[in-house]
Structure 1
Amino acid sequence: MEKLHLEQLYNFRDFGGYETTDGRRLKKGVLYRSDELSHLTKKDRQTLQKLNIKTVIDYRSLKERYGNENKDFGQKKTFYLTPIADIAALASAEYGEIDMEDQSKLTPDLVEFLMIKQNQTFVTDPHCKMVYKSMIEIYLNPDNGKIVQHCRGGKDRTGYGVALLQGLLGVAKKDILKDYLLTNLYKKEKNQQSLEKIQEETGNSSLVKAISYFKKADTRFLGAALNYIEEYYQSIENYAKRELSITEKHIQYLKERYLESNEKDKNE
């Protein structure tokens, strides 16, 4: 799907269209991911309203949402799912929001370590498992209609949630990572402006590089989660069955709902 031209939304996209390992394809126009939906202009709301999204999954913490609630664009339901994601929240924060003491400790190596650890936490932490199990269950309920899932930057918490869903639908790892990396394209200008401002204010190139690791999608980060799943469970399907209580019947239903039919594929 072509990128929507939105004024105050930088990482919104349809994550359908990818081919699956069995030769089918994710439907377009039903699966969306985004950064936070709290700064939408009137024009943005009108643009989103045309998509007829019924349900929002918001991974942001209560602290992140306070005074910063999503704007109304016609959605009917919002599910607040909060994984243990202090690092992801820090990664999506603006520089001025980061505590001075934390700033002084940030190095590129530390941030790289923290981002890898955060993604592994999504996989292994019991509370995170509960959160992402709930996410999948939202997609299993047809009453929820078209769904958008988002966090603050639309990269880490959302990136992992989308990766799980795409994996269950049969999208190959290379395409899951390809979709994740689109954040770098969509937020390139915004991130560049932010990093230039930090360089001007601090003159600290090491700090700028460290914060750039927070802001960018890096295959080492989401890859840490996917590699862990591969190593210990062989596949996302096996992981979801063993750790999230998702059944084969659930997976087949997701495929029926979100994959184009074979008949349609043959006609195209």
Structure 2
Amino acid sequence: MGNLVNFRDLGGIPTTDDRIVQEKRILRAGQLVNLSDEEKEKLISEFDLVNIVDFRGVKEVTSAPDDEFDSVSYTHLDVLAETEKNSANFDDMQNILTVERVDELMMQLYTQLLEDSVSQKGYQEFLELLVAQKEGATLFHCFAGKDRTGIGAMLFLKLLGVSDELVIADYLKTNESRREANEALIVRAREEEISEEHAQALLRALSVDVRYLKHVMTLISDQYESFENYAAQKLNFGQRQVDLLKELYLKKQ
């Protein structure tokens, strides 16, 4: 998709009860900035895009606003609104100097996305928006489409009944989908004569690691026993809404 990095349709992923996610209903990506006319047209005509959900922070949105689309709704949900330094935007990523520190901060970030009340409110509004969207596709994203977007995808897919293995498989697609974009960012960083250790840390920060997602999956399992319980207790998204989500986004194989 050219300038639209880390883009994919979550449609076609099977659930444990032999249904599949509907195609052209739920899309994920990195930021929608400087897209070509062809990319915009494809999102509208081929994927029936009707709504965009932007998980980025105010600073990110102000400095690089999403491209405008005719007749497409836009919703900004800053899931890290109360964190001044969150390691999820590119400016903060560039300031992390070692791979070990990246891993430490990512574990903290993913925990916060799960446990912080502002993050919970953002993901609650995201899920409520999805059950209100009866037709067409919603595209949700952050800067790189990997962490804030990754948690959103995990919650959506797990509530539909997708296995851990397939949720993780979708999550790890980011490393291949962002490969070219990440390499370009590393080249630019090296032009500023950063150390090789710093370059490797930046590359790590721009990638995903299975340990990050498994960490929050384990937290939910240990503390809430199920994603449904977590959604009901922390996102005010109960079984009736989960059932509606399944009705709207699943189909028989």
Superposed pair shares fold, TM > 0.5: yes
Is the Cα contact below 8 Å between 2:57 and 2:80 reproduced in 1? no
1:46 Cα deviation (Å)? 1.5
Mapping of 1:132-151 within 5 angstroms? 132-142=123-133, 145-151=136-142
* Per-residue deviation, residues 177-227 of structure 1 (Å, max 9, x unmatched): 111111111111121232244345325121112111210011111222212
Deviates more, 1:133-142 or 1:81-90: 81-90
Match of 1:3 in 2: none
Q: How does 1:23-38 map to 2 (within 5 A)?
A: 23-38=18-33
Deviation (angstroms), 1:174: 1.0
TM-score (norm: length of structure 1): 0.87
Once the two structures are TM-superposed, the CA of residue 145 in structure 1 deviates from its matched residue by 3.7
Could you tell me which residue of structure 2 aligns to residue 61 of structure 1? 57
Structure 1 or 2: more helix by fraction: 1
Partner-residue secondary structure (3-state), 1:147:
strand
The answer for the alignment partner of 1:116 in structure 2 is: 107
> What stretches of structure 2 of length at least 5 have no aligned partner?
none
Matched, 1:256 2:247: yes
Structure 1 CA distance, aligned partners of 2:216 and 2:84?
A: 15
How big is the alpha-carbon RMSD for the aligned residues of Structure 1 and Structure 2? 2.1
1:25 partner SS: strand
Please state how far the C-alpha of 1:54 moved relative to its aligned partner: 0.6
5+ residue gaps, structure 1: 1-5
The alignment status of 1:42 with 2:37, answered yes or no, reads yes
Identity %: 29
Question: Deviating runs (4+, > 3 A) in structure 1?
Answer: 85-92, 142-145
User: Is the 1:19–1:25 contact (alpha carbons within 8 Å) kept by the matching residues of 2?
Assistant: yes
Amino acid at match of 1:139: L
Find out whether 1:107 has 2:98 as its counterpart: yes
Corresponding residue pairs, total: 251
* Counterpart check, 1:78 vs 2:74: yes
State yes or no: 1:237 paired with 2:233: no
Are 1:21 and 2:12 an aligned pair? no
Report the 3-state secondary structure (helix = DSSP H, G, I; strand = E; otherwise coil) of the residue aligned with 2:192. helix
Higher Cα Rg: structure 1 or 2?
1
